Structure 1
Amino acid sequence: MRIPFALLLSAFCLMFASMKAAASTLLPEAEARQLAAYLKSHGATPEQYITGKFARYDVVLLGEDHRVKHNLLLAHRLIPLLYKAGVYNFGMEFGASEDQAALDALVTGERYDEAVARRLMFNYNVGWAFKEYMDIYRVAWQLNRSLPAGARKFRILNLSYKFDWDGFNGVPTADNMERVFPKGDTERFRVELIRREVLAKQDKILILTGTGHAYTRYALPVNDYLSEGFYRLEDRSMGNLLYRLAPGKVFNILLHRPFYSQTGGPGDLVQPAGGALEQVMARRSNAPVGFDLVGTPLGELRDDSYFAIGYPDFRLRDLADGYVFVKPFRAAEGCTIDEAFLTDANWPEAQRQHPAFPDLDSRPQSLEAYRRSIREFADVRSFYRRVR
């Protein structure tokens, strides 16, 4: 296959802009022990840390590396705790707003229906066959069933809309992408939905979303060979827009994840802060913990990953407001695949609606091929073995 010159030039320019690779920056043992001691007195359990932020903030964003099982199990544990803290909304990137009424009915109904849960997730992403995401619905239903009569119900809020990949030809022209995304920019759509459904009602919400949607103060480097340095800093994520919409009311927390290196692309994974963060966690037996990054010694840890492009002295505090560590990378597992999610009956629709950007060749040609690609994606343990 012939690679377009513009694509080659684009890739070269980003590489040129990022010639130095992330390096290990392990701490002297005395400093690592001091930071571990700091966490003993200033950290909290992930559950306490996250729910405690709602004493000051209306929107808390959890930026996740998708399909990591222990992060979803943390989300399950948070739901009843959020309710006790007076937070009645849990936002999910993976869900279509067109299905909100059906989702509300599912989590407040007399009986929980797994088939409905599968269909709601399938409607948004035909390959998101991960049980722990759908179990968020179940946990909300269990909470609602336990509430006394007349009590306010807990709500799972779908933050996206239905995309239409059927007929996409792989060419990302403005006209073609408008057909795929008929309701426009997904980030602005999500912000307007949150404004209308949560902030305008003087409510609060915890949002689980991919890391790239959760930035607030941070601007992400994006390849741009016409810009000085061959990159530009982009600050139009959902979190960026919410941060400007409701200043002082939005807080973002990064769930422990690998970073990308400056030179290797998405497949080249490096430790946050060059390994110093996991070094500190190991000094405290890898006990789960949540902690602030802004104004703390943990936030002052230097980082030389892809996130540092465009920032001469990049620290963890520049990326996020807070951090939650549950497990080290070597102990992470992928989510459980729901084997009933994809069937012979829904396979034609799954093939039509499989996201085919940027490569039409990525569209699976058989149900088994699609299942195999999902299993490979869910193999977090193998993927995280690349972290260096």
Structure 2
Amino acid sequence: MRFSLLFFITTLLISCNSTPKENFRNPLLPKDYIIKKFQNHDIVLLGEDHGVKEHIEFIQDIIPHLYRNGIYQIGMEFGAYEMQEQLDELLIADEYDPQKTKDLFFFYNVGWAFLEYHEIYHKVWEFNQTLTAQEKKFRIINLSYQFHWDKFDMNDQEESLKEVFHLGEIDSFRCEIVKDQVINKKEKALLLVGTPHAFSKFLHDASKPIENKNCPFVDTYLGHRLYDEIGDKVFTILFHQGFLGTKENNYKSVSPANGRLIEMIEKKHIGKIGFDVSRNIANLTDNSALSECQPHLKLGDICDGYIFIAPLNELTGCTIDASYFSGKDYKTEVYPFIPDPNWHKPPETLGGYLGQIRRYVDLEERYGEIE
């Protein structure tokens, strides 16, 4: 009996000490990781740093995998609910209409000329063509509404922004869309949104109020609102990306967790991988601009999971569709509707605007100084 007890204790200690330290012992491919998260969650928020070609191609490729596992829809930030019926028709039409795709994106954002995002529509259409008439079709849900940037007045920003966002605070609106289209129907969905909109638990702890006025984020993003609705049925995953830096480095992008996360991944020589941000990984310190919102910030405070496709210096920007503006009069159909004129002065010519769009997806400029 004494020998058996000693053997049990020794075995337990060995087992505890041999537990994987970095969650990489049994790595999952990113697509398999996302599917696994849907076993216990209804909404998976996938936070992206916009315009990364490899990440959007991943979304294109995962569509059949989602469908086979009972997830029949992707929600996308870059689409207007006013065009939902037209989008539904496009995705089940007998013939695919690439011009209609461009028109739908243009309606939401006159500058979203990126082929890889457009190709998501095409891939969904292609997949739906493989289904019988009786089978449920895969959908894309437009999460946003059309912003009226032509109403913006630089000299009266506060009041004019109310006209721009004429249907109210955008993430509150998006939450209502998700409730109506997914939650109330007791379905599941993958939501592709910009990283801050994917935050669910981060900054949402009433015991840790945001006190630093330099915090560039808020606690009312889409993920926060969905977490209030369905709690732990929400799961936040981030694509590998640079985090916003601080004033000390002129707000240039920095490596997540002060570079320690990528060190751990490269040390294990792991390729594409999806993993939980837990245990040792969760305890990695992060001193990016996010830390100005919460002292002693750890990676586990920011997100629940992480997807690594490639190192930052191997990622590329999305491709610009040269025909996106064909047939459009720049001065009347494009210029007045260019988003965020309070952040970036709209160029006077189409050539100037195309240059601005190219710089937006120049990842060498975006990530080039990350060590």
Q: Same fold (TM over 0.5)?
A: yes
More displaced 10-residue stretch of structure 1: 107-116 or 38-47? 38-47
The CA deviation string for residues 311-344 of structure 1, in whole angstroms up to 9 with x for no partner, is 3321100000111111101101001111110135
Q: Which moved more, 1:35-44 or 1:362-371?
A: 35-44
Instruction: List 4+ stretches of structure 1 deviating above 3 A.
Output: 34-40, 171-174, 227-233, 264-267
Q: Secondary structure at the match of 1:258?
A: coil
Match of 1:157 in 2: 141
- Please state whether the residue corresponding to 1:253 is helix, strand or coil: strand
What's 2:207 paired with?
Answer: none
Measured after TM superposition, the shift of residue 133 of structure 1 is 0.5
Could you tell me which of 186, 199, 203 is aligned with 2:187? 203
Q: CA deviation at 1:236?
A: 0.3
Measured at CA, do residues 333 and 251 of structure 1 come closer, stay the same or move farther in structure 2, by a change above 3 Å?
same
The one of 365, 370, 373 aligned to 2:356: 373
3-state DSSP of counterpart to 1:133: helix
Q: Which residue of 2 aligns with 1:11?
A: none
Asked whether the 8 Å contact 1:70–1:332 carries over to 2, the reply is yes
Residue 285 (structure 2) aligns with = 302
CA contact (8 A) 2:277 2:299 kept: yes
**Cα separation, partners in 2 of 1:166 and 1:340, compared to 1, 3 Å:** same
Shift of 1:285: 2.9
Residue in 2 aligned with 1:287? 271
Matches within 5 A, 1:49-198: 49-171=33-155, 173-198=157-182
1:246 matched to 2:230: yes
The alpha-carbon distance between structure 1 residues 283 and 329, as it changes in their structure 2 partners (threshold 3 A), is same
- For residues 223 and 23 of structure 2, the distance between their equivalents in structure 1, rounded to whole angstroms, comes to 27
* Cα distance change of structure 1 residues 171 and 57 upon mapping to structure 2, 3 Å threshold: farther
Question: What count of residue pairs does the alignment treat as equivalent?
Answer: 348
Aligned residues of 1:42 and 1:291 also touching (Cα < 8 A):
no
Q: Which moved more, 1:345-354 or 1:101-110?
A: 345-354
Q: Residues 96 and 125 of structure 2 are in contact (CA less than 8 Å); yes or no, is this contact kept in structure 1?
A: yes
Query: Which moves more between the two structures, 342-351 or 89-98?
Result: 342-351
Deviation at 1:178, TM superposition (A): 1.6
Secondary structure of 2:121 counterpart? helix
User: Matches of residues 229-244 of structure 1 in structure 2 within 5 Å?
Assistant: 229-231=212-214, 234-244=218-228
1:169–1:283 Cα change, 3 Å: same
Give, in angstroms, the shift of residue 305 of structure 1.
1.3
Q: Partners of 1:380 and 1:35 in 2: how far apart?
A: 37
Task: Measure how far apart 1:35 and its partner are.
Answer: 10
How far the C-alpha of 1:172 sits from its partner, in A, is 5.1
Higher-Rg structure is: 2
3-state SS of paired residue (2:268): coil
User: Partner of 1:319 in structure 2?
Assistant: 302
What displacement does 1:36 show? Answer: 8.7
The equivalent residue for 2:312 is 329
Q: TM-score, normalised by structure 2?
A: 0.89
In structure 2, C-alpha distance between the alignment counterparts of 1:228 and 1:58, rounded to whole Å: 32
Assess if the C-alpha contact under 8 Å between 2:203 and 2:293 holds in 1.
no
